[in-house]
Structure 1
Amino acid sequence: MHSSLLNQYLPELKDQTSPLPILDLACGNGRNGLFCLEKNLMVTFADINEESLGYVKQTISRDADKYQSTLATFWRVDFEQAFSQPLAEKSYRAVMVFRYLHRPLIEQIKAAVIPNGLVIYETFTLGQAELGRPKNPNFLLKVGELAEHFSDWKIIHYFEGTTVSDTGNHHQAIAQVVARKPL
């Protein structure tokens, strides 16, 4: 099931006139990108895991009546390779990041979004370590950290705290931001 944030901010994503795709960064099984694809938005699914990308491709192929496959592109990439700049020279109308944190990428993400484009970012905070996985502080946001990263953008939505997961079966400590890049 896709993030409830996408239901709420779909009009913001659809409102853009850019011909560029939305980047589903570290897409995993593609649940969020597939939702956007279903709404006829162009999506680039990016992940290091070839099996994950294969799963997304199979889903699109299997449900061809639901998804327009020509709107999907796939990018196998290691976002954490030392000294790499995977998003350099790339441009997107929006970047979505869910359940993933690699701090060196944040400035690259901001640079890859076109002016007036969006970032939709949701990941775990330090409080998650008390609730379950992940527990490694390298993968957990500090209090206020996500808002701070996008403080120079127009923040449309911000949440930080404990909530019930989108699947409804457990609690999670997360931070969410939806932010628009200045012109």
Structure 2
Amino acid sequence: MPPASSWVMRHLDFVPAGGAVLDLAAGSGRHVRLCRRAGLAVVAVDRDTAGLNAFADDGGVEILAADLEAAAWPLAGRRFGGVIVTNYLWRPLLPEIVAAVAPGGVLIYETFAAGNEAFGRPRNPDFLLRPNELLEAVGAELEVLEYRHGFEPGPPSAVRQKIAARRPDMDRP
């Protein structure tokens, strides 16, 4: 299993204690494992859940098979203390992803951005964030904790965009 993203590790402490985490496009479960080690419950969503079999008997992990690009948002009305998305972009879901962050919760998102086509896959602009696109996606709903966009030396070299943003907690002054 590949190691957890350093961006996710850096911001995971912003997830409120006791808050469940949504790992969207969870793949092999590298961030599920990280969250479970931190004592967080996880909802792991992917089209192909075979990579999540190691968590099948873990009562703190809910595994949900869903084709996020061909069906309705499977988590309507659910909110999470943390929402993690890495190496995945389906623009029609950006509003649902932001809405899934509970008050006091955090969105931790990183994926490839325009310019990455010079270094490898993905090259299709449909799967590359435009400059400031994650900032625009969170808008005024979430408070930006940290944002980056730019070249990252490898291996493998890539152009990435990253954001960590928190929804204000209405219960806190």
TM over 0.5: yes
Report the counterpart of residue 112 of structure 2 in structure 1.
124
Quote the offset at 1:12 in angstroms: 1.2
Report the counterpart of residue 179 of structure 1 in structure 2.
165
Whole-angstrom CA distance in 1 between matches of 2:49 and 2:7: 26
How does the TM-score come out when normalised to structure 2?
A: 0.89
- Residues 45-101 of structure 1 deviation map (CA, whole Å, 9 limit, x = unaligned): 1101032232x437xx6xxxxxxx22211111111125x132312221111000000
Whole-angstrom CA distance in 1 between matches of 2:34 and 2:135: 25
Report the counterpart of residue 55 of structure 2 in structure 1.
57
Quote the offset at 1:10 in angstroms: 2.8
Letter in 2 for 1:116: G
How does the TM-score come out when normalised to structure 1?
A: 0.84
Whole-angstrom CA distance in 2 between matches of 1:107 and 1:144: 15
Percent identity between the aligned chains? 34
- Residues 9-52 of structure 1 deviation map (CA, whole Å, 9 limit, x = unaligned): 23212xx14x4410000000111121111121111111010322
The structure whose residues are more often helix, as a share, is 1
| Counterpart contact for 1:158–1:178, Cα < 8 Å | yes
Match of 1:73 among 62, 73, 81: 62
In structure 2, the gaps of 5 or more residues are none
Whole-angstrom CA distance in 1 between matches of 2:43 and 2:29: 10
| Counterpart contact for 2:19–2:40, Cα < 8 Å | no
2:45 equivalent to 1:46: yes
Match of 1:136 among 99, 104, 124: 124
What is the aligned residue count?
166
Report the counterpart of residue 94 of structure 2 in structure 1.
106
Report the counterpart of residue 65 of structure 1 in structure 2.
none
| Counterpart contact for 2:8–2:84, Cα < 8 Å | no
Detail structure 1 runs of 4+ shifted over 2 Å in the superposition: none
| Counterpart contact for 2:148–2:161, Cα < 8 Å | yes
- Residues 99-149 of structure 1 deviation map (CA, whole Å, 9 limit, x = unaligned): 000111111111121111110000000111110001111110011111111
Letter in 1 for 2:6: S
Whole-angstrom CA distance in 1 between matches of 2:75 and 2:62: 15
Report the counterpart of residue 30 of structure 2 in structure 1.
31
RMSD: 1.6
Whole-angstrom CA distance in 2 between matches of 1:21 and 1:175: 24
In structure 1, the gaps of 5 or more residues are 62-68
| Counterpart contact for 2:146–2:165, Cα < 8 Å | yes
SS in 1 for 2:10: helix
